[in-house]
Chain A
Amino acid sequence: MTRPRSLRSLLPFAAALLLLPAAPGWAQTPKYGGVLVTHPLSAAPSLSPHEESTVAVAQQASPCFNNLVYYDPAKKQESVDTIIPELAERWSWQDSQRTLVFFLRHDVKWHDGKPFTSADVKYTFDAVRGAPDAKVKLKVNPRKLWYENIEGIEAPDPYTVVFRLKKPQPAILPMLASGYSPVYPAHVPLAEFKNKCIGTGPFKLKENKPGELVEYVKNPDYFVKGRPYLDGIKFVVIRDRSTQIAAVQSGQLDVAGTGWNRTNAEDAKKGLPKLVMVETDSNVNDNVLINFKKPPFNDRRIRQAINLALDRKAYLVGPRQGAATFGGALLPRPSGVWGLPPAEIAKLPGMGDPAKQKAEAKKLLAEAGYGPGNPLRLTVSTRALAIYVDTASWMVDQLSQVGIEATLEQIETGVWHPKMTRLEYSVALNLTGVGIDDPDAQLFENYRCGSQRNFSGYCSEEIDRLMLEQSQTTDPKKRLALVNEIDRRLQADGARPILGWGKQHWVMWPYVKGWAVHENSIYNVSRRQDVWLDK
C-alpha cells in the first residue's frame, strides 16, 4: 500500500514547475499532428553533420539523428548542467575525469529497423577523431580537433561505451552534446549521408531534393515515448529574404527567421502583428581580423589604433541596429557561461568615449609613422553577404575618422574562407559562430598557434599554455578564472577584436509551440521533437 505524498514531498516538483522556461508551449498540454514548415539558413550540402561546418546542416539533419547526450531544449542557456541523456541513459566520469563511460539505452532502433548498439558509437567517434583503426575515414573532418584528446574508445558490451582520454577534459561532454556530434549507424555506408539519412531520431527522412527541400515524417518507433508531436517537418530552401518574410506572413512558413537581422523580424511582424517575434543572444560574433603576419599590422600600435577607432556603441546602433551584446572572446554573461564580467567588458578597447579613443588611435598611428601627410592605407575585406558588408562598410567609415584610408573589398562566398585561411588580406570583417559555448571549442579553433581557423595568424605560446591548462581544469570556478584571464590577454593583444555578439531572431505563428531557442548557441537545438502545433 502506498501512502499519499505529503505536501512537503511535492515541494521540489512545485519548484521545478516554477522554474519552467517562459518559452511558448512548454507549460501547455501538447497536441499531436501537423507538419511544420520552416526555412533553413541555406541549402544543406549534405545530411552528414560530422563532415560539414554550417549551421544549415545542423538545422536540417538534427531531426534525423540522436547524440549520446544533448542540450536540454527547454533550458535557454546551454551549460554542462543542462546536458541530458539521449542515446545514453546515463554516464559516469571515472579515473579523475580521464574516463567517460556511457550506458546506452536498450530500446533504440535505426530508421531501417536495425538495433542501435555501442558498436555504432565507437564507429562514429573513431571516424571523427581519425583513429588509425577507424572503419571509415571522413572525407572532410572539421571537428577532428575537438576529439584529439581521446586516447581510445572501447565497446566492452553492446550497451556500454568507454571514452578514454589522454588528459582530463571536462569539455568532452559538451562537445558530445553538440548538434555536430550525432551517432551514425555503422551498417550504412558513410557516402549515403550525402543525400540520405538513416538515424535514430524523432523524424525519418521522407524526401531530400538537394538545394530545394528536406522533408521528414514522424518516426513511429522513436524511443522517447510520446514524441515527436509533429507528423513531419519540412525545410523549404528560400534564398531571398523578402520572399521568406512574405512566406511567413502568408502562412506558407510556420517559423522563419534563421539568418535574419532585427529589421527583417520587425518587418515581418509589422506586416502581420499577430506573428510572434523572439529575439535572444547567440554565439555568433562580429570580429575584426588583423593579419599578424603582414606588415605594418604586425605592429601592436597599428592593431591597437584600429581596435580603438571602432566605436562599439556606434556599431550597436549602426550595422547591428541595436541587436548585439558587447563582449570579449567568449559570449558574455548572463547568456554565456564563460564571458568576462560586465565591468571588464565596459573597459575594453572601443567601449570608451569615442572622441578620446579616436584621439588615442591617432596618437598611436603617429607613433607608428602614419599621419595626415602619410596616411595608413588598407583594404577591409569581407564576405559578399549583406550581414558582413553592412558592418564592413561601417568599419571603413570609422577608420577614416582616425585618418586611415580604407577601401572595402567584397569577397565571393566560395573563396572567402580559403582567402582567410591563407591570410590573403590585411584587415577583414568576419562572423564566427561557435559550435558550443565552451572555451575549448572557441579558443583552440580561433586563437591557438597554427590552428587552421586562426584566421589572424595570432600566436602566443603563453596563451597556448593557458588554453591547455584551462582545458584540463576540472573545477569549474578555477577554469572560469583561467578562461577570463586568457580573454583579458587576447583583448589586450588585439588578437581578434570582437565588435559584439549578434542576436538571433525568430518569427513564428502563435500556434507554434515548443520551438526551443538557446541563448548561447544556434547549433544544438534543432531536434524539434517537442515542437507542436496548437491548431
Chain B
Amino acid sequence: MKVYVFKRLVIAGVTLLGMSILIFVLMRLAPGNITDIIFESAGYVDEADRRKLEAELGIDKPVAIQYTRWLGEFVRGDLGKSYRYDLPAWEVIKPRLPVSLELAFIALVFSIVLGVPAGVISAVSRGRPIDYVLRVLSLAGLSMPSFWLGMIVILLLVRALGWIPSMTYVSPFENLGANLFQFLLPGLAVGYRSSALIMRITRSTMLEVLREDYIRTAWAKGQRQTFVVWRHALKNASLPVITLIGIEFAFLIGGLIVTETVFNLPGVARYLVDAIQFRDYPIVQNLVMLIAVVVVFANLTVDLLYTWLDPRIKYGNA
C-alpha cells in the first residue's frame, strides 16, 4: 500500500510538472503580454516606461529563466504578484478559492444525492414509468449546459418571485444560512448535469449487479428488498460510480466559469478568465496549477477509496 501511494505521488508530481510546462508555454504563445495591454489600451506607449515595467515584472528575461523562477517560487509557496492589481497573487486568489471549492462541493453533493438514488430506483424499476421519467430527466440534465440552466433559473425566479440570489458574496463565516441559500441554486444548476451522468452509470452497473447469482440468492433467501438493493447491490455497483465522481469533481472545478458569471459568484473560475484576458501570468499559472493539484489529489483519493470499498483490491500487486 505504502509503495503504491509513493508511486502515485511520484506520478502526481510528474503530472503536475508537465502541467506547469504546458500552462507556462501556452500563456507565452498567446499574443501580447500585460505591458502591451496596459500601455497600448491607454493609447500612450513610452518605450522606456514599457521596458521598465517589463523588467519590474520580470517578463524581459528568457522564458526558461522565467519558468524556473516561477516554479521555484510556486514550490516554496510564493505565488508572486498580480500584474494587473499589483497585489500578492495569493491575496487575490485566497478569497476566491473557497467560493469555487464550496460551489463545486455543493454541486457534487447534489449530483450524488440526486444521481445515485435515481440510478438505483431506475434500475430496480426497469421498464416501468418511473424508469422512463428518470431517464428522460437524466437525458435533459446531460443536454442542458449548466450556465444555460442557471440563466433560465434566474429569469424564472425574477419573473415569478421578483427575487434572485444575492449578487454580492455572503461568506459562511458571516452568515451560514444566507451563504448556503446563495449557493443552493448555482450548486443545483451545476450538480444537475453531473447527477444525470452519475444516475446513468449507477443504473447500468446496478442492472449488471442485480443479475448476479448472489443477488438472486439473497432474494431467494427472502431478504428485504431495501437490504438487497442498497446493501448488497449498490455497494458492489459503486466502484465505477466512485471513479466517475472523482472525475466529475475535476470537471466541476473546470466547468464553473460560466455558472460563477451567471450567478455573480466571485470564484477562481470566473477570475481565471479575466486573468487570461489581461495576461496576468502569475494569477493564471498559479490558479491553473492549484486546480491541477486539486484534481490530481481528488483522483488519488478516489483510487485509495477502492481498497475500502472492495477489500479484494490489493494495490501492491497491481
Contacts and interface: CB of A to CB of B under 8 A. Distances in A.
Interface of A: 43, 45-46, 51-54, 139-145, 191, 194-195, 209-213, 234, 236-240, 242-243, 246-247, 249-253, 271-272, 412-418, 420-422, 445, 451-453
B163 interface: yes
Interface string B75-90: 0000000001111000
Considering the complex of A and B, which 4 residue pairs feature the smallest CB-CB distances, nearest first? A142-B42, A453-B43, A415-B32, A418-B40
Contacts of A415: 31-32, 36-37
Interface in B261-279: 261-264, 266, 270-271, 274, 276-279
Contacts, number: 133
B168 A413 contact: no
A249 to B, nearest CB: 5
A53 B262 contact: no
A243 B40 CA distance: 31
A243 B167 contact: yes
B37 A418 contact: yes
Interface string B263-305: 1101000110010111100000000000000000000000000
Given A209-B95, A209-B266, A414-B279, A140 B86 contact: no
Given A194-B86, A249-B162, A243 B43 contact: no
B164 A53 contact: no
A5 to B, nearest CB: 51
7 contacts: A142-B44, A209-B95, A211-B266, A242-B155, A243-B261, A417-B37, A452-B40
A210 B167 contact: no
B169 A212 contact: yes
Contacts of A209: 95, 266
Query: Chain A's interface: helix, strand, loop or mixed, by majority?
Result: loop
A11 B158 CA distance: 50
A211 B272 CA distance: 11
A293 B243 CA distance: 59
Interface in B122-167: 151, 154-155, 157-159, 162-164, 166-167
B40 A421 contact: yes
Contacts of B310: none
Interface of B: 31-32, 36-46, 49, 53, 84-87, 92, 95, 151, 154-155, 157-159, 162-164, 166-169, 261-264, 266, 270-271, 274, 276-279
Nearest to A415: B32
Contacts of A271: 158-159
Contacts of A54: 41
Nearest to B270: A239
Contacts of A143: 44
Nearest to B159: A271
Contacts of A251: 162
Given A141-B46, A210-B87, A414 B278 contact: yes
A250 B44 contact: no
Nearest to B86: A194
Given A209-B266, A271-B159, A250 B274 contact: no
A468 B164 CA distance: 55
A46 B82 CA distance: 12
A52 B39 CA distance: 9
Contacts of B163: 250
Contacts of A210: 85, 87, 92
Nearest to A242: B151
Contacts of A237: 264
A452 B262 contact: no
B43 A53 contact: yes
Contact of A243 (B41, B44, B46, B264): B264
B50 to A, nearest CB: 9
A452 B41 CA distance: 10
